[in-house]
Structure 1
Amino acid sequence: MVRLRRRWALGLLAGGVSAAALGTTDPVLGRRRTGTLARRQPPPVEVENRAAGEPWWPPRDDRCVDDRQRQIQGYASTTSVAPGESVDFHVAVNPGGRYRISIHRLGWYDGAGARTLLTSPQLDGEPQPVPPADPVTGAIACRWPVSWTVRVPDDWTSGLYQAVFTSADGWRACTPFVVRDDRRAAALCVVLPVTTWQAYNQWPLDGQIGKSLYNGFGATGRTDPAARAREVSFDRPYVHEGLPTQIDRDHDAIQWLERSGYDVSYASSLDLHSGRLDPSRHRGLVFSGHDEYWSVRMRRAAERAVAAGTSLVFLSANSVYWHVRVRDDADGRPGRLVACSKATPDPEQDAAGPTITWRNLGRPEQALLGVQYNGIVRDPQPLVVRAADHWFWAGTGLADGDRIPGMVGGEADGVSPDHPHPTALTATVLSASPYRTRYGSHRVQNSHLYETPQGGLVFASGTFCWAMALNRPGHRDERIVRATANLLDRITGRDAASTDRAAAAGVARR
Structure 2
Amino acid sequence: MAEAGPYPGVSAAPPPHPDGVPEHASPAVDWNWPPYHHTVPEDWPPGIYLAHFVAGTEQQVRRVPMLDDSDIEGFEREFFVVRPRRAGATGARILYKKSTYTRHAYNRADRADVQRAASLYDHPVHRQAGPDGPRGHRLSLHRPGGVIDLAYWDAPFIAWLERGGYPVEYCTDLDLHEEPGLLAPYRLLLSVGHDEYWSAAMRDHVAQFVRDGGNVAFLSANTCWWRVHPVDGNSAFVSDTDHHVGEEYPHLPATDQWWPAPPDGVGEPENTLTGVSFRNGGMWPGDWPGDRPRDGYRVQHADHWVYEGTGLRDGSDGGPADALGAGTPLIGYECDGAAFARDANGVAHATGVDGTPESFLILGIYLLDPVHDDFHHLKWGHWNCPAREPAITGPRAATMGLYTAGGTVFTAGTTDWPVICGRELDAGVVRVTRNVLDRLSGPGPTTPER
- TM-score normalized by the length of structure 2: 0.71
1:139 aligned to 20, 25, 28, which one?
28
Question: 1:356, CA displacement in angstroms?
Answer: 3.0
The structure, 1 or 2, with the larger RCO (C-alpha pairs under 8 Å, 6+ apart) is 2
Residue correspondence of structure 1 range 344-423 to structure 2 within 5 A: 354-359=255-260, 360-373=265-278, 374-377=281-284, 379-383=292-296, 384-400=298-314, 401-403=321-323, 404-406=326-328, 407-416=330-339, 417=351, 418-422=353-357
**Aligned residue number for residue 230 of structure 1:** 137
Instruction: Tell me, yes or no, if the aligned pair for 1:342 and 1:357 is still in contact at 8 Å.
Output: no
The 1:467–1:138 alpha-carbon spacing in structure 2 relative to 1, beyond 3 Å, is closer
Q: Which amino acid in structure 2 is aligned with residue 141 of structure 1?
A: D
User: In 2, distance between residues paired with 1:327 and 1:265?
Assistant: 27
Q: Which amino acid in structure 2 is aligned with residue 355 of structure 1?
A: D
**Aligned residue number for residue 182 of structure 2:** 278
User: In 2, distance between residues paired with 1:207 and 1:163?
Assistant: 21
Q: Which amino acid in structure 1 is aligned with residue 302 of structure 2?
A: A
Q: Which amino acid in structure 2 is aligned with residue 213 of structure 1?
A: L
Instruction: Tell me, yes or no, if the aligned pair for 1:388 and 1:398 is still in contact at 8 Å.
Output: yes
Question: 1:357, CA displacement in angstroms?
Answer: 3.7
User: In 1, distance between residues paired with 2:420 and 2:147?
Assistant: 21
Instruction: Tell me, yes or no, if the aligned pair for 1:324 and 1:340 is still in contact at 8 Å.
Output: yes
Question: 1:124, CA displacement in angstroms?
Answer: 2.3
CA displacement, residues 348-393 of structure 1 (integer Å, 9 cap, x when unaligned): xxxxx94334443221111111111121035233222221111100
Question: 1:480, CA displacement in angstroms?
Answer: 1.0
Residue aligned with 2:241, SS: coil
The 1:129–1:276 alpha-carbon spacing in structure 2 relative to 1, beyond 3 Å, is farther
User: In 2, distance between residues paired with 1:265 and 1:340?
Assistant: 29
The 1:276–1:179 alpha-carbon spacing in structure 2 relative to 1, beyond 3 Å, is farther
User: In 1, distance between residues paired with 2:212 and 2:250?
Assistant: 34
Residue aligned with 1:279, SS: coil
**Structure 2 residue runs without a partner (length 5+):** 21-25, 65-74, 126-135, 244-248, 285-290, 315-320, 340-350, 381-394, 444-450
- TM-score normalized by the length of structure 1: 0.63
Instruction: Tell me, yes or no, if the aligned pair for 2:124 and 2:137 is still in contact at 8 Å.
Output: no
Instruction: Tell me, yes or no, if the aligned pair for 2:334 and 2:415 is still in contact at 8 Å.
Output: yes
**Aligned residue number for residue 447 of structure 1:** 400
- Whether 2:241 is the aligned partner of 1:342: answer yes
User: In 1, distance between residues paired with 2:2 and 2:259?
Assistant: 42
Instruction: Tell me, yes or no, if the aligned pair for 1:267 and 1:277 is still in contact at 8 Å.
Output: no
- Whether 2:32 is the aligned partner of 1:129: answer no
Q: Which amino acid in structure 2 is aligned with residue 161 of structure 1?
A: Y
Question: 1:323, CA displacement in angstroms?
Answer: 0.8
Question: 1:341, CA displacement in angstroms?
Answer: 2.0
Instruction: Tell me, yes or no, if the aligned pair for 2:282 and 2:379 is still in contact at 8 Å.
Output: no
Instruction: Tell me, yes or no, if the aligned pair for 1:134 and 1:140 is still in contact at 8 Å.
Output: no
- Whether 2:90 is the aligned partner of 1:151: answer no
Instruction: Tell me, yes or no, if the aligned pair for 1:365 and 1:371 is still in contact at 8 Å.
Output: yes
**Aligned residue number for residue 262 of structure 1:** 166
User: In 1, distance between residues paired with 2:293 and 2:167?
Assistant: 32
Residue correspondence of structure 1 range 73-472 to structure 2 within 5 A: 117-134=1-18, 139-146=28-35, 148-168=36-56, 169=60, 173-185=76-88, 186-204=92-110, 209-216=116-123, 230-238=137-145, 242-245=146-149, 247-275=151-179, 278-328=182-232, 334-343=233-242, 354-359=255-260, 360-373=265-278, 374-377=281-284, 379-383=292-296, 384-400=298-314, 401-403=321-323, 404-406=326-328, 407-416=330-339, 417=351, 418-422=353-357, 424=359, 427-435=360-368, 436=371, 438-439=377-378, 443-452=396-405, 454=406, 456-472=407-423
Identity of aligned residues (%): 32
Residue aligned with 1:139, SS: coil
The 1:273–1:423 alpha-carbon spacing in structure 2 relative to 1, beyond 3 Å, is farther
The 1:372–1:440 alpha-carbon spacing in structure 2 relative to 1, beyond 3 Å, is closer
User: In 1, distance between residues paired with 2:15 and 2:53?
Assistant: 21
Residue aligned with 1:431, SS: strand
Residue aligned with 1:446, SS: strand
Residue aligned with 1:281, SS: coil
CA displacement, residues 421-469 of structure 1 (integer Å, 9 cap, x when unaligned): 2264xx32111112337347673211011122x2x21011011221112
User: In 2, distance between residues paired with 1:243 and 1:233?
Assistant: 17
User: In 1, distance between residues paired with 2:182 and 2:116?
Assistant: 38
Question: 1:346, CA displacement in angstroms?
Answer: 8.8
Instruction: Tell me, yes or no, if the aligned pair for 1:190 and 1:267 is still in contact at 8 Å.
Output: yes
Question: 1:217, CA displacement in angstroms?
Answer: 8.7
Question: 1:138, CA displacement in angstroms?
Answer: 5.2
Instruction: Tell me, yes or no, if the aligned pair for 1:372 and 1:415 is still in contact at 8 Å.
Output: yes
TM superposition outliers: structure 1 runs of 4+ over 6 Å: 205-208, 344-347
Residue aligned with 2:54, SS: strand
Question: 1:204, CA displacement in angstroms?
Answer: 3.3
User: In 1, distance between residues paired with 2:159 and 2:27?
Assistant: 36
CA displacement, residues 41-83 of structure 1 (integer Å, 9 cap, x when unaligned): xxxxxxxxxxxxxxxxxxxxxxxxxxxxxxxxxxxxxxxxxxx
Instruction: Tell me, yes or no, if the aligned pair for 1:408 and 1:445 is still in contact at 8 Å.
Output: yes
Question: 1:151, CA displacement in angstroms?
Answer: 1.6
Give the alignment's Cα RMSD to 1 decimal: 2.8
- Whether 2:387 is the aligned partner of 1:482: answer no
Question: 1:123, CA displacement in angstroms?
Answer: 2.4
Question: 1:276, CA displacement in angstroms?
Answer: 6.6
Tell me which moved more, 188-197 or 479-488.
Answer: 479-488
